[in-house]
Amino acid sequence: MGEDMEEEYEGGIVKKFMFVNRKAPYGTIYALEVLEMVLISAAFDQDVHIAFLDDGIYQIKKGQDTKELGMKNFSPTYRALEGYDIEKLFVERESLEERGLTEDDLLVPVEVISRAEMGALMAGMDVVLTA
Amino acid sequence: MSTLHTVNKSPFERSSLQACLGHAQASDSVLLIEDAVMAALSGTAFAAKLADAGQSIKLFVLGPDLKARGLDPAKVVNGITVIDYDGFVDLAAENSTIHSWL
């Protein structure tokens, strides 16, 4: 059974997926839910891209410590994505600047691109999911 | 008579903070919690607005919410006081009214 499924995916169509993160973590459940979707997509050998823009960039801010909130700090998971061959992470430069942040504030290697470049990147995707 | 205003939405996404600051009175306190704590950091597009509001209104930010988001309490805008949950309770007790700007 497991083997049949694997063959089916190997011969299946690979689409360009983009998950667009626009919300800060912890205040709402969106960031964690998108991360779940990303991890699921990794199991289907799709061409996964992750974008962080607007408040979404706070998801990959270094130094998150949720102890006093009693919530799980899920930020280390972004560093583990590399192990699932998810390495196409993009951050919008304008969003960083508006928030007084730089690439050094982020906990994973990313490609920083302009809003115009982000728009063009989105336009080239087969599937775009934003939250 | 004074009011404690709490704001929990990111100023980049909603206008709650702007509305709150526009209505708070001189003797009032404004506490930034949850996704509103981003507004307290220096260097953001909102820093000047917060520094200005701090001239007449007492401004506070909840430390545990800053830390959860990896934001350094030492880097908040001048005039904003970082408090913990006990401080939140004190503010709630000190003010006659609580206005939660959801």
- What contacts A129, CB < 8 A, 6 or more positions away? A17, A18, A19, A20, A34, A37
Structural domain tally of chain A?
1
A8 found inside a domain = no
Q: Do B34 and A71 touch (CB under 8 A)?
A: no
Can you list the positions of beta strands (E) in chain A?
16-21, 47-52, 88-92, 111-113, 127-130
A7 found inside a domain = no
A94 found inside a domain = yes
Per-residue pLDDT tens over the stretch A93-118: 999 999 999 999 999 999 999 999 99
Shortest distance between the Cα of B68 and any Cα of chain A, in A, equals: 4
The structural domains of chain B, with segments of one domain joined by +, span 3-101
Q: Which domain holds residue A89?
A: 14-130
Class of domain B3-101: alpha beta
Per-residue pLDDT tens over the stretch B15-35: 999 999 999 999 899 999 999
For the full predicted model, state whether its pTM sits above 0.80: yes
A9 found inside a domain = no
Per-residue pLDDT tens over the stretch A80-89: 999 999 999 9
- B68 reaches A (C-beta below 8 A): yes
CATH number (domain holding residue A116): 3.40.1260.10
A55 found inside a domain = yes
